[in-house]
Amino acid sequence: MQKFNQVVGHEQIIQHLKTAIAMDKVSHAYILAGEDGSGKNMLADAFTKALQCESRLDNREDCGVCRSCLQAESGNHPDIKRVTHEKASIGVDDVRIQINNDILIKPYSSLYKIYIIDEAERLTEQAQNALLKTIESPPSYGIILLLTNNLSALLPTILSRCVTLKLKAVDKEAIRQFLMLNYKIPDYQAELSAVFSQGNVGKAIKYASSEEFGELKTEVLHLLKYIDDMELYEIIDGLKRISEQKERIDDYLDLIILWYRDILMYKVTKDINLLTYKSESMDISKQASIKSYEGIEQIIAAVEKAKIRLNANVNFDIAIELMLLTIKEN
């Protein structure tokens, strides 16, 4: 389990939780809301570990050496429970058996009894109504943490009775430093992963350590470097290769957008240090010298339009072909 000082970013949320512990004003129900990979589970782990620590009021976080901390670290703490479910949704029986009935039994060895519901957006309406009864009148020692990537999936009655903490994008530089320090990722690769993750630490870790992402980037850059010199049949061949990456098309298109934003940035500033693809600065400067501002903006708009079309289930090949032709024409 994580400590607060191991969580990247989210300083305001961490301060809020630490203050609640120090002032003994912990709520009975919290919602941690953020996209997958944003750090919800890390924050939940750090908070629960700190709450159960025998020295919590002195440190406002876990000491790491007391019996409670060691139990939490091993995943065997009797008073920290994660709700599990076998089906696609979290049903009313899951809530009744794992929370409502269990919470009536006092903590085994700690001040609190804590329940973590990951993917809370999967709670059925019946399950949420069952959970609501416990949230409305919990025992003094009961704490429920709901982790979700979709607040709108939770009932207004649930939302109104919980403290909601929304996770924001983490600073790019903080992610870059984290990847370099903890995963020994080279500077250039760490920066690209940080930028591409759009403030999501989990995604940044995945991109930095994924061979598939590296191969995808290489393929995208090869296409973009030489598309101006390609014949139509070569572009169609490129379309076929992209079609083989349908499950990763969003990543593919985002890499393209980053490339043309770099071209636009270099055209405006002539500063290599501002580029995401620093190692490709020669090709970027070459394209910046021959493309117009209007042409670059039209390309970026075409890629964004392709993303919208694909999300609207427009024919894949047609959407990508229109995008590639726009890139070629400009």
DSSP string, 55-124: THHHHSS--SSSHHHHHHHHT--TTEEE---SSSSB-HHHHIIIIITGGGSPPSSSS-EEEEETTGGGB-
Flag whether pLDDT at 59 surpasses 70: no
Phi, psi of 291 (to 5 degrees): -100, 145
Share of the chain above pLDDT 90, in %: 41
Cα–Cα distance measured from residue 77 to residue 74, given in angstroms and rounded to the nearest whole number? 8
The segment(s) of the chain belonging to CATH 3.40.50.300 are 4-166
Instruction: Give the lowest-confidence range in 7-11, 58-62, 167-171.
Output: 58-62
Instruction: Give the lowest-confidence range in 53-57, 156-160, 190-194, 294-298.
Output: 53-57
pLDDT tens-digit readout, 258-290: 899 999 999 999 998 888 888 888 999 999 999
Cα–Cα distance measured from residue 306 to residue 259, given in angstroms and rounded to the nearest whole number? 16
- The residue among 147, 182, 121 whose CA lies nearest residue 42 is 147
Query: What kind of fold does domain 4-166 have according to CATH?
Result: Rossmann fold (3.40.50)
Place of tokens 């019996």: 67
pLDDT tens-digit readout, 116-132: 999 999 999 999 999 99
* Contact status, residue 60 vs residue 21, Cβ threshold 8 Å: yes
DSSP 8-class letter at 227: G
Flag whether pLDDT at 58 surpasses 70: no
Flag whether pLDDT at 84 surpasses 80: yes
At 56, is the pLDDT very low, low, confident or very high (cuts 50, 70, 90)?
Answer: low
Cα–Cα distance measured from residue 284 to residue 301, given in angstroms and rounded to the nearest whole number? 19
Share of the chain above pLDDT 70, in %: 97
Which pLDDT score is estimated for 273?
85
- The residue among 162, 80, 163 whose CA lies nearest residue 128 is 162
Flag whether pLDDT at 182 surpasses 70: yes
Which pLDDT score is estimated for 40?
92
The segment(s) of the chain belonging to CATH 1.20.272 are 210-329
Cα–Cα distance measured from residue 219 to residue 45, given in angstroms and rounded to the nearest whole number? 38
Judged by phi (left if over 0) then psi (alpha if -120 to 50, else beta), residue 294 lies in alpha
The Cα-based distances of 283 to 4, 104, 133, 207, 213 in angstroms read 43, 66, 62, 23, 21
Cα–Cα distance measured from residue 298 to residue 228, given in angstroms and rounded to the nearest whole number? 15
The Cα-based distances of 12 to 7, 15, 242, 275 in angstroms read 12, 5, 41, 30
Collapsing DSSP to helix, strand or coil, 129 comes out as: helix
Flag whether pLDDT at 206 surpasses 70: yes
- The residue among 305, 311, 248, 312 whose CA lies nearest residue 321 is 305
Which pLDDT score is estimated for 5?
79
CATH node for 210-329: 1.20.272
At 253, is the pLDDT very low, low, confident or very high (cuts 50, 70, 90)?
Answer: confident
Instruction: Give the lowest-confidence range in 41-45, 137-141, 199-203, 237-241.
Output: 237-241
At 99, is the pLDDT very low, low, confident or very high (cuts 50, 70, 90)?
Answer: very high
Q: Please give the residue that has the higher pLDDT: either 65 or 245.
A: 65
